[in-house]
């Protein structure tokens, strides 16, 4: 549905949203009326270069034709069945994902936080059943972000962040250690630790990639101590980091991995994949979901994943990520450019990243800011050098204006 279909003015529509929607977002003053490829369009048809892609979701481009066709076809065939019967898209997607990323089993969820809940629950149940009632603690990273439901929130190592303040006690069973500090992670583990859980690149924590030593060191330590390695690939998964899954950049494999965002090509779907042994912790009744594995979302996901693989989008993410990152280093007032593939953060010295984000918006480039000094770019993975050049010129002009104020 577009604004023109409603007979409303843009002001009238915004007034309705403000009156009725509980607001927890700092919105752009922008009506996303339609989208295609690397652009979103407002109600006047003005294009905005989309370098946040629904926050790392629209990796195959906005309204990708194959995803749209898969959604339309499946919506006309069967929409929702709960998980009692088998459905075609669920089974085909399960095979596609497990064989593509080298995992044994999948469990479908609807969002990143839910996938992380499932990952935490599976690890805890595995620990308690295999080793005894106290073996359910999980060590996670400071500055991590795992979602907004209680398990995922409690795994999130950001006690001073608005996402944790004012909600009372967090769920017990989590300990936190500084990211990329292998010794600290080892020291944080006790006899009751069943798992270590990290993001291969911290996204919301400021775009911090794991070092090779940290990731491979954690895998080794986990193997030697009967501890599970849980990777949250909600943001990094499905080609964003220059590999199909970020863990492939490190040559390690997790015991459980969570995924969401890009896997649906714009539709809400998430999952965990686990080894055969760990997956056995989930038995009938121990976990479930009404919508997880929704046929329309599974059909969209299958089309999106096939598109990513057919078009070699991991390779493009690697190439464009290197090209764009190198350019961004030439911006004035840059302290550091960091990331992996097309998950890129730019930290500024003395400039406010929220202001830069807004100045980019004024110039019709959509990006996000993390905290007060980092901007994050997670564009569709189909971008070209030309798109990067255009984005760079806009960011440069925004930074120059911010520096002059
Ligand atoms: C690493 C990571 N985990 C979990 C989540 C939560 O995902 P969702 O918003 O789909 O619940 C996010 C969202 O940004 C994320 O980046």
The angle that helices 295-310 and 88-101 make with each other, rounded to 10 degrees, is 40
The pLDDT of residue 367: 98
Calpha distance 300→73 (Å, rounded): 10
Calpha distance 125→278 (Å, rounded): 9
Site to substitute for ligand 1 among 116, 120, 208, 234, most atoms within 8 A of C-beta: 234
Q: Is 268 in the pocket of ligand 1 (CB under 6 A)?
A: no
The pLDDT of residue 284: 95
Interacting residues of 179 by C-beta distance below 8 A, sequence separation 6+: 141, 142, 143, 144, 198, 202, 205, 208, 210, 214
Cβ–Cβ under 8 Å, residues 64 and 304: yes
Q: Is 204 in the pocket of ligand 1 (CB under 6 A)?
A: yes
Interacting residues of 45 by C-beta distance below 8 A, sequence separation 6+: none
Cβ–Cβ under 8 Å, residues 54 and 378: no
Closest CA to 236 of 90, 374, 367, 57: 57
The pLDDT of residue 151: 97
- Stated pTM of the model: 0.98
Tens digits of pLDDT across the chain (405 residues): 999 999 999 999 999 999 999 999 988 899 999 999 999 999 999 999 999 999 999 999 999 999 999 999 999 999 999 999 999 999 999 999 999 999 999 999 999 999 999 999 999 999 999 999 999 999 999 999 999 999 999 999 999 999 999 999 999 999 999 999 999 999 999 999 999 999 999 999 999 999 999 999 999 999 999 999 999 999 999 999 999 999 999 999 999 999 999 999 999 999 999 999 999 999 999 999 999 999 999 999 999 999 999 999 999 999 999 999 999 999 999 999 999 999 999 999 999 999 999 999 999 999 999 999 999 999 999 999 999 999 999 999 999 999 998
With 0-12 / 13-18 / 19 or more C-beta atoms within 10 angstroms meaning exposed / middle / buried, residue 216 is middle
Ligand 1 atom index nearest CA of 202: 1
Q: What's the CA-to-centroid distance between 10 and ligand 1, angstroms?
A: 30
Q: Is 340 in the pocket of ligand 1 (CB under 6 A)?
A: no
Q: Is 207 in the pocket of ligand 1 (CB under 6 A)?
A: no
3-class SS at 314? Answer: helix
Q: Is 235 in the pocket of ligand 1 (CB under 6 A)?
A: yes
Q: Is 232 in the pocket of ligand 1 (CB under 6 A)?
A: yes
Q: What's the CA-to-centroid distance between 191 and ligand 1, angstroms?
A: 29
Question: Which stretch of DSSP H or E encloses residue 194?
Answer: strand 193-198
Q: Is 378 in the pocket of ligand 1 (CB under 6 A)?
A: no
- Closest-CA residue, ligand 1 atom 3, reads 146
The pLDDT of residue 49: 98
- Residue-range domains of the chain with CATH: 3-60+312-404 (3.90.1150.10), 65-310 (3.40.640.10)
Q: What's the CA-to-centroid distance between 235 and ligand 1, angstroms?
A: 7
Interacting residues of 360 by C-beta distance below 8 A, sequence separation 6+: 366, 367, 375, 394, 395, 398
Closest CA to 113 of 295, 237, 272, 263: 272
Q: What's the CA-to-centroid distance between 300 and ligand 1, angstroms?
A: 19
Q: Is 117 in the pocket of ligand 1 (CB under 6 A)?
A: no
List, edge to edge, every strand of the sheet that includes 34-36: 34-36, 39-41, 47-50, 365-366
Cβ–Cβ under 8 Å, residues 152 and 113: yes
Q: What's the CA-to-centroid distance between 233 and ligand 1, angstroms?
A: 9
3-class SS at 98? Answer: helix
Ligand 1 atom index nearest CA of 152: 4
Q: What's the CA-to-centroid distance between 234 and ligand 1, angstroms?
A: 6
Distance of CA 93 to the CA centre of its chain: 19
What the block records as the tokens of 104 is 């044994």
The pLDDT of residue 26: 87
Q: Is 206 in the pocket of ligand 1 (CB under 6 A)?
A: no
How would you write 313-379 as a 3-class SS string? HHHHHHHHHHHHHHHHCCCCCEEEEEEECCEEEEEECCCCHHHHHHHHHHCCEECEEECCCEEEECC
Q: Is 233 in the pocket of ligand 1 (CB under 6 A)?
A: no
Cβ–Cβ under 8 Å, residues 207 and 180: no
Q: What's the CA-to-centroid distance between 209 and ligand 1, angstroms?
A: 16
């Amino acid at each position: 549905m577009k604004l023109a279909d409603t007979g409303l003015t843009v002001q009238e529509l915004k007034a309705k949203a403000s009156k009725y929607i509980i607001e927890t977002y700092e919105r752009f003053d922008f009506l996303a009326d339609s989208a295609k490829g690397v652009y979103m369009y407002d109600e006047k048809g003005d294009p905005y270069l989309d370098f946040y892609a629904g926050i790392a979701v629209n990796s195959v481009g906005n309204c990708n034709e194959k995803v749209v066709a898969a959604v339309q076809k499946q919506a006309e065939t069967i929409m929702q069945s709960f998980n009692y019967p088998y459905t075609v898209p669920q089974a085909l997607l399960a095979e596609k994902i497990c064989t593509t990323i080298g995992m044994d089993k999948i469990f479908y969820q609807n969002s990143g936080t839910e996938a992380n809940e499932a990952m935490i629950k599976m690890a805890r149940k595995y620990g308690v059943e295999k080793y005894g009632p106290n073996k359910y603690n999980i060590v996670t990273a400071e500055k991590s972000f795992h979602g907004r439901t209680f398990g995922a929130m409690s795994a999130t190592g950001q006690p001073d962040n608005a996402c944790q303040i004012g909600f009372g006690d967090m769920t017990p069973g989590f300990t936190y250690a500084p990211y990329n500090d292998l010794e600290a992670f080892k020291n944080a583990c006790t006899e009751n630790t069943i798992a270590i859980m990290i993001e291969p690149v911290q996204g919301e924590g400021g775009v911090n990639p794991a070092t090779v030593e940290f990731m491979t060191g954690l895998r080794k330590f986990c193997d030697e101590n009967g501890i599970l390695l849980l990777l949250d690939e909600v943001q990094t998964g499905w080609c964003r980091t220059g590999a199909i899954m970020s863990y492939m950049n490190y040559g390690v494999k997790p015991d459980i991995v969570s995924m969401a965002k890009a896997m649906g090509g714009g539709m809400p779907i998430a999952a965990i994949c686990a080894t055969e042994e760990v997956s056995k912790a989930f038995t009938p009744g121990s976990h479930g979901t009404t919508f997880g594995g929704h046929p329309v979302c599974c059909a969209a996901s299958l089309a999106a994943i096939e598109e990513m693989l057919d078009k070699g989008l991991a390779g493009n993410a690697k190439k464009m990520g290197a090209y764009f990152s190198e350019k961004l280093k030439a911006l004035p007032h840059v302290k550091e450019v960091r990331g992996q593939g097309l998950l890129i953060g730019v930290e500024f010295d003395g400039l406010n990243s929220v202001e830069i984000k807004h100045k980019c918006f004024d110039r019709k480039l959509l990006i996000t800011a993390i905290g007060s000094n980092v901007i994050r770019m997670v564009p569709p993975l189909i971008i070209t050098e030309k798109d990067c050049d255009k984005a760079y010129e806009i960011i440069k002009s925004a930074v120059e204006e911010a520096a002059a104020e």
